[in-house]
Chains A and B, each alone.
Chain A
């Protein structure tokens, strides 16, 4: 291919210019200013929870489901599948779980116009007078359509989010039948709407999806403590996540939220749901949810 030097240099420099343009698309200046802005007061978080509860959906269609069993995805653990059951007979819809969740997971506030539209970031919603969050479906539709694999399933049955990998296509949000996923429309840190109450949970950037993680950090913490306490050489007992509670379960004054391991007979979850009828939102019933509702005795 005959091509003289001038042209070669010309084309190369063109490419270099393109590369330069591509390289300057982001500057780190804004982030530094943002971190010095004031953080919102606790009162604002409490008010927002009240506002969200006043706008809550009143109805929730439930259908009966069997007790969740082991996950059917390859590589899933046969020992652990974490989940929750919400006791509709005990719950009085006080909303303390929402605030507890927000503080535990550093859920940011939203600007007023978003609040007016009912677009909150809360991982726990009120629907039909009871807390409602991601059900961590065993056959999760959101994970199937995530283009980058940011939404994925842990072997322990949590539907997890890898924030750094999220490209914000919002496909998972569109495919969630119950809209449990929340999108970071605003740069909460820059707008002074985020506050890191809990240092174990990172603040999320603008443009990524988030949702209930079943307090993944607490589980992870317990697992590592368990590993640490094991002495080397003895036949190790397997970790079953006993004694861990999510923030919402801890905060509930009526003990209506039960967290535990569906595959562990000693787990409070299994024991308390033994004689109860389990329900799930009708849209999710076929998707093998881990978070279910219970009502009435069997």
Chain B
């Protein structure tokens, strides 16, 4: 996937994140959104990249994880917990997707995993999450997505 498409994908994830966990929204709505986003990301990958590229196999899921991470900042309750969980999910997808690809001869993106792991650990120490901190977190995730 080209760097341009890659950065476009994180913008899409950012856009999608704003639809999740709106106040008073039913689980149906959120579930449908999640499923819909996944299809959307899949279609985006199909048109944005070469479908035979093995690293693309878990690309939509990574986008979904990024989207979940970004969306946790707007949660009303248990923000720290879900922040950590969403980042763990992203880490999980990267790590095990990486291991699967490693067995087929593709190197694991260790820097990305290490950065995420560090951030997951650090964010467990967060106390009240301020607006500035939210912004910093989002910038960090987007940086990890685009540069690592």
Contact = CB atoms under 8 A, between A and B. Distances in A.
A144 B105 contact: no
B103 interface: yes
A286 B106 CA distance: 11
Interface string A270-298: 00000000000000001000000000000
Interface in A122-150: 139, 141, 144-145
A139 B102 CA distance: 13
B103 A286 contact: no
A281 to B, nearest CB: 16
Nearest to A144: B103
Interface residues of B, number: 2
Contacts of B105: 139, 286
A238 B103 CA distance: 35
A66 to B, nearest CB: 17
Interface string B73-88: 0000000000000000
A26 B140 CA distance: 61
B106 to A, nearest CB: 11
Interface string A74-115: 000000000000000000000000000000000000000000
Contacts of A145: 103
A141 B103 CA distance: 8
Q: How big is chain A's contact interface, by range?
A: under 10
A139 B105 CA distance: 9
B108 to A, nearest CB: 15
Contacts of A139: 105
A145 B100 CA distance: 12
A141 B105 CA distance: 10
A144 B99 CA distance: 13
Interface in B94-115: 103, 105
Contacts of A144: 103
A145 B105 CA distance: 14
A117 to B, nearest CB: 29
B104 to A, nearest CB: 8
Nearest to B104: A141
B5 to A, nearest CB: 26
Contacts of A286: 105
Nearest to A139: B105
A146 to B, nearest CB: 13
Interface string A165-191: 000000000000000000000000000
A117 B103 CA distance: 31
A139 B103 CA distance: 11
Contacts of B103: 141, 144-145
Nearest to B103: A144
A295 to B, nearest CB: 26
Contacts of A141: 103
Interface string B57-92: 000000000000000000000000000000000000
A53 B111 CA distance: 52
A144 B105 CA distance: 12
A237 B66 CA distance: 61
A286 to B, nearest CB: 6
A286 B103 CA distance: 13
B70 to A, nearest CB: 37
A141 B102 CA distance: 11
B101 to A, nearest CB: 13
Nearest to A286: B105
A71 to B, nearest CB: 16
A286 B105 CA distance: 9
A286 B54 CA distance: 14
Nearest to A141: B103
Instruction: Give me the 5 closest cross-chain CB pairs, A-B, nearest first.
Output: A286-B105, A144-B103, A139-B105, A141-B103, A145-B103
Interface of B: 103, 105
5 contacts: A139-B105, A141-B103, A144-B103, A145-B103, A286-B105
